[in-house]
Structure 1
Amino acid sequence: MFKFTMSEVRDLFIAFVVISLCFAIANAGRDVNGVLNILPIIMVGVGAGFILHELGHKFVSMKYGYWAEFKLWPQGLLFALITSFFGFVFAAPGAVYTYADYMTDEINGKISIAGPVVNIILALIFLAAATVIYPSALYSETHALIFIICAVGYSVNSFLAVFNLLPIGNLDGSKVLRWNIVIWIVTIAIAGIMTFMSMTMGPQNIVRMIIGL
């Protein structure tokens, strides 16, 4: 059964708020009004991306019969906040800990890849929604706001996917690479291309390219 502890809910909420703030600072800099204005928009993409990423790990862990629980990493949150002032976010606020006496590299790899795959799927959903609403966003302020939310959701989730797939330390990428190098290459390539396009072209130009404008 999919269960949460009170401490887990608390840790997820704290991590969600702080990571959202970090992405807002990374985008708006030290402009307080800019941070406050963009924060609600950032929260949609980060909220979906961060929470569902962690739930992906938890769901697959529990599917294999293990107890899994998200735990906050205060030092990681502090480091994320510090890096945000330099224009990027080292997003490692915590992790889902899976409790098992023994686990194969395959199962560990499948649990680990679940989070980044969720981010890739969410990024594509946000991009599809942005593409659908873009024509009307040119004439409607409400649709324009929805487009911005979707564009940010695409960018944030693409970044979260490629970041977590890096084969560094205890990030997901290390465990996926240890399990299956081909799957790791394919997934990080997809996430990397999506992130590269987001950073170089921007979501709006990607959408315009898709619809042929």
Structure 2
Amino acid sequence: MEVIQKYFPGLTDEQINHFSRLKDIYSDWNQQINVISRKDMANFYEHHVLHSLAIGLFIKFSPGTTIIDVGTGGGFPGLPLAIMFPEVNFTLIDSIGKKIKVVKAVAATLHLKNVTALQTRAENYKGQFDFIVSRAVTTLPEFYKQTQHLVSPKQKNAITNGILYLKGGDLTDEINPFKSRISSTRLSDYFDEPFFSTKKILHLSF
């Protein structure tokens, strides 16, 4: 939890309470449904919560912004972002029912009224959002094909509506097809921890 407050010193008491409770809630659920590698629970805040919150350093979402987290898994990056931005509406989707069961339970335990969780595939989902967020569920060109119908043309933020994608490694081949529509920001620009040395946030604007 200290690593969260290191980079986000202005959290409210409620946000600190929510973030502080997250690890225990996930540890309990992980005994029943393995949504996070058990080896990785020791690095829960750095590898999952802080990684998700990189999006909150890249952009401060305007109140009323709508966001869909596609392939949310156990709720990342959507749930940490929902705690960080209580005036933003989040829809978290995944095709695997047991993962959505955990997401719903975590959101209910923390009384997060800005979170909706659904078992569905992006290709089948109808609705439009200001941003799509995700943590590397597939290659970016493939992800774009599956999700492009979900982005609203109406703008209300400082950056253009589109995809905010967290991914690591050499992304040259994935970025090239989008030319000037995409930006890549190294997470090492935000965070000191070695875990983030190869990780990036991609913004594909629509």
TM value normalised by structure 2: 0.31
TM value normalised by structure 1: 0.30
Higher strand share: 2
